[in-house]
Amino acid sequence: MQQDALISAMVGLLGVAALVVFRKRLGVLNAASWLVIWGSLVLFGEHPQFTLTYAAGVVWPEGGQLVLIPHARIHFFMGGVYASIGLIFLGVIARTLLREGRRAGWYALLFGVVVGGGIDLMMGGLWYQHGSPLYLMERPLGFGWEFFYVYLIAWVAALVLSYRPIFAKAP
């Protein structure tokens, strides 16, 4: 399991690295928008996917499947649906506002990184320690966080790449 997570993380990071390396050929803002989409695809494989499959009753290898009451099941499922829609909308923001060099797109991505990423790191460490690289001493490798946090690296790279083209010009 640990080796699979590390290989997945390397593949995810190669995608980030390729977009950064080819940023001039693609156009800096275009590359930044694709970094957001790449990160969103990685993120979809964790929270929305887990929520949707858990609500559908898929049994996870971590332990027995907890039984959700029907009321909670629909909330889990719809949480996954709306998380997926939110990631799609973030991709639309990236392909329009960020790619066009609009500050609103940059700030929307910054909000997602600071609020979403910050809460993700914090709660991943507090509720289940596989979910946060901040707790390396407790669980140094494995269980997927290595790949999962590629989304934060991709989104921060998008912010860094797009900062100068967006903020260097007059408002």
Cα separation, 112 vs 62, in Å, equals 29
Considering the chain, what percentage of its residues have pLDDT values greater than 70? 79
Of the listed ranges 16-20, 50-54, 100-104, the least confidently predicted one is: 50-54
Question: What value, to the nearest 5°, has the Cα angle with vertex 92 and ends 86 and 97?
Answer: 120
Q: What is the pLDDT of residue 143?
A: 54
DSSP string covering the chain, please? -HHHHHHHHHHHHHHHHHHHHTHHHH-HHHHHHHHHHHHHHHHHTTHHHHHHHHHTTPPPTTSPPPPPPHHHHHHHHHHHHHHHHHHHHHHHHIIIIITTT-HHHHHHHHHIIIIIIHHHHHHHHHH-GGG-GGGTTT--S-TTHHHHTHHHHHHHHHHHHHHHHHHSS--
The mean pLDDT value for 55-84 works out to: 77
* pTM reported for the whole predicted model: 0.82
* Amino acid 171: pLDDT: 58
Average pLDDT over residues 67-75: 80
Calculate the average pLDDT of the chain. Answer: 83
- State residue 40's pLDDT score: 93
Q: Which of 72-81, 96-105, 124-133 has the highest mean pLDDT?
A: 96-105
With 80 as the cut, is the pLDDT of residue 86 above it?
yes
* pLDDT in the model for residue 100: 94
Residues 30/99, Cβ–Cβ less than 8 Å: yes
Residue 138 has pLDDT above 60, yes or no: no
Answer yes or no: is pLDDT of 95 > 90. Answer: yes
Residue type, 3: Q
pLDDT at residue 52 tops 80 = yes
Task: Grade residue 129 by pLDDT with cuts at 50, 70 and 90.
Answer: low
Kindly tell me if the per-residue pLDDT of 137 is higher than 90: no
